[in-house]
A and B are shown apart, each in its own frame.
Chain A
Amino acid sequence: QVQLQQWGAGLLKPSETLSLTCAVYGGSLSGFYWSWIRQPPGRGLEWIGEIDHRGNTNYNPSLKSRVTISIDTSKNHFSLKLSSETAADTAVYYCARTAVVSPVAYDYWGQGTLVTVSS
């Protein structure tokens, strides 16, 4: 059974950089896209971006200038960095894996990390 376990700092000051990591247990990184998705409190889901096991990335155009997603196949994990944080970036951040049946649907999710940006 695949499990995604994520961690990272939960409280940031404005202008700091968010850094989260998602470890994959029970499965390989190969053959899937690994994504980050966020959800501001009380609001809907927003796709941040994705990476494959080769390191190929795609980002949401609205966040592209501030986002870096990387992957470490030796540790079976992938990471998110989002720079120049503002209060608008306060959200629960999820890591997720695309499904076997579709490269753009997500069947495994991390537990979520609440990141609060506040001075």
Chain B
Amino acid sequence: QSVLTQPPSVSGAPGQRVTISCTGSSSNIGADYDVHWYQQRPGLAPKLLIHSNSNRPSGVPDRFSASRSGASASLAITGLQEEDEADYYCQSYDNTLGGFLIFGGGTKLTVL
């Protein structure tokens, strides 16, 4: 079971907006550690989508946005496109047991 909790799946029609939540605790997101988001298409390595809570690397469309509040974070995708169908993972740092990086369990986005 992952330290960060994500919904197993979300779906939306092309053009719609979807959000993916990432819930942590007082030892990770709630302790003010940054959250990062990745997109993973089948058979490929994850791709950095959002870093440091809300920042898009160069080349990532502005349809992708994210935020963090308290012990949770969320990723929003507007104007859904078929190519957005993928798995999405949140990532942060946990300060227990000496500290280590943690990932959410992943959310499968289906574009209907």
* Residues of A near any B CB (own CB < 8 A): 35, 43-47, 50, 58-61, 94, 96, 99, 101-102, 104-107, 109-112
Report the number of A-B residue pairs with Cβ-Cβ less than 8 Å: 68
- Taking a contact as CB atoms closer than 8 A, the residue among A44, A99, A107 that contacts B103 in the complex is A44
**Docked pose: A44 CA to B40 CA in angstroms:** 10
Please indicate the chain B residues that have their CB under 8 angstroms from the CB of A44 in the complex: 2, 89, 103-106
Please indicate the chain B residues that have their CB under 8 angstroms from the CB of A94 in the complex: 45-46
**Docked pose: A47 CA to B106 CA in angstroms:** 14
Q: How far is the CB of B91 from chain A (nearest CB, A)?
A: 7
Q: A45-B89, A47-B102, A47-B103 are in contact. Are A101 and B45 (CB under 8 A)?
A: no
> Majority SS of interface residues in chain B?
strand
Q: How far is the CB of A48 from chain B (nearest CB, A)?
A: 9
Instruction: Mark each residue of chain B from 75 to 96: 1 if its CB lies under 8 Å from any CB of chain A, else 0.
Output: 0000000000000010111000
Please indicate the chain A residues that have their CB under 8 angstroms from the CB of B61 in the complex: none
Q: How far is the CB of B34 from chain A (nearest CB, A)?
A: 7
Q: By the criterion CB–CB under 8 Å, are B106 and A61 in contact?
A: no
Q: A44-B106, A45-B89, A99-B51 are in contact. Are A104 and B101 (CB under 8 A)?
A: yes
Q: How far is the CB of A40 from chain B (nearest CB, A)?
A: 11
Q: How far is the CB of A102 from chain B (nearest CB, A)?
A: 5
- Taking a contact as CB atoms closer than 8 A, the residue among B52, B102, B105 that contacts A102 in the complex is B52
Q: By the criterion CB–CB under 8 Å, are B36 and A60 in contact?
A: no
**Docked pose: A105 CA to B54 CA in angstroms:** 13
Please indicate the chain B residues that have their CB under 8 angstroms from the CB of A46 in the complex: 103
